[in-house]
Amino acid sequence: MTDVSVIGDVNVDLLSSPIVSYPKRDFQTLIPSINLQIGGGAANFAFAISRLGLKTRLIGLVGNDIFGEYIGRKAEEFGIESKIRKTNKEKTGITVGIQLEDGSRSLLTFRGTNSLLSKKDFKLEDIEGKAIHIGGYNFLDKLRKDIYKIVKYAKKKKMLVSLEPDIKSGIRFGIKDLRKILKFVDLFFPNRKEGEVLTGKKEKREIVKSLLNLGCKVVALKCREKGCVVGSKNKIFTIKGIRVKAINPTGIGDIFNAAFVFEYLKTGDIKKAGIFANAAGALAITKTDERRFAKEEEVIRFLRRWKTR
């Protein structure tokens, strides 16, 4: 039986090992490694929450190509129930990430099949479980108009609804459309820059308050190495980050989201969920490929070690 359904962007990431700075134009920098890994907000979330221990169903669209096959094979290895369709109309999406030693990165993204994903690619009945997560909302041009129907359907089934906006490439939707959806959203996962864009506020707690006023039940504002600010109508908590050496920052926000949903489903406590998600993200950023996706006991051990320092 499915615990969590995940809908949204599914692609592969090609990521450099961390570099000190970008090469000058027309110059070249040699790197010790480049990694191929699962990418896309929905896919990262699905792999992370599956590894934490929940039975997961992933709904998306990939090309009938080598990267589509790679994603399907990895999903099977992780025990994810794949509802990923293949199409010959477009290639699987790819993100190329240039990662820096300070923990930042820059991304070049070919959206590929993610730009084609629509409600025609799955049935509403495919959405099952205790929760649904929608990843990459900003990128889902064809599906976005149907998100309202999807979240309304999920709420009728008494599912927890979580959503991640993903506006790194610039906002592609209207705030009115988002407000209409957010009244059905239980957990909303912007990062700080996204929160500033969506609210016009700069102070973290003010961002959270403004987003809560848009209608969602809980906001988890991700603030990179500074941790997160999590809030509901009655309480807001600032949770300090865990400082580690960043090796692979790409996809860490998605892993945070998955860990937060996992712990929130377990405890119903937003502070505990924020602490657990911080730890999962900090642990993940020190690792590459599928080692980023930790089991629950690995996150707990890491958190205990950090608390004893």
Q: What is the CATH number of the domain that holds 265?
A: 3.40.1190.20
Tell me, yes or no, if the pTM score tops 0.85.
yes
Q: Does some domain include residue 25?
A: no
The whole-chain average pLDDT of the chain stands at 93
With pLDDT > 90 as the criterion, what percentage of the chain qualifies? 73
Say if residue 3's pLDDT is above 80.
Answer: yes
Would you state the structure tokens that stand for residue 160, as one six-digit string? 């927890």
Q: Does some domain include residue 27?
A: no
Q: Does some domain include residue 175?
A: yes
Listing from the earlier edge strand, what are the strands of the sheet with 93-99? 34-39, 11-16, 93-99, 105-110
Q: Residue 20 carries which DSSP code?
A: S
DSSP labels for 159-228?
A: -EEEE----TT---S-HHHHHHHHTT-SEE--BHHHHHHHH---SHHHHHHHHHHTT-SEEEEE-GGG-E
DSSP labels for 116-132?
A: T--GGGS-GGG--SSEE
Checking DSSP bridges between strand 131-135 and strand 187-188, what pairing results, if any? unpaired
Q: Does some domain include residue 26?
A: no
pLDDT, tens digit, for every residue of 211-228?
999 899 999 999 999 999
Number of folded domains in the chain? 1
pLDDT, tens digit, for every residue of 107-129?
899 999 999 999 999 999 999 99
Would you state the structure tokens that stand for residue 205, as one six-digit string? 């707690």
Mean pLDDT of 75-94: 97
pLDDT, tens digit, for every residue of 144-161?
889 999 999 999 999 999
Give 292's pLDDT tier (boundaries 50, 70, 90).
Answer: very high
Mean pLDDT of 131-140: 91
Please report the pLDDT score of residue 293 as a whole number. Answer: 97
DSSP labels for 59-108?
A: EEEEESSHHHHHHHHHHHHTT-EEEEEEESSSPPEEEEEEEBTTS-EEEE
Residue 269 domain boundaries: 4-20+33-307
**Which residue has 């900090």 as its token pair?**
282
The enclosing H or E element of 35 equals: strand 34-39
CA 174 to chain CA centroid, Å, is 21
Give the residue, 55 or 171, on which the prediction is more confident: 55
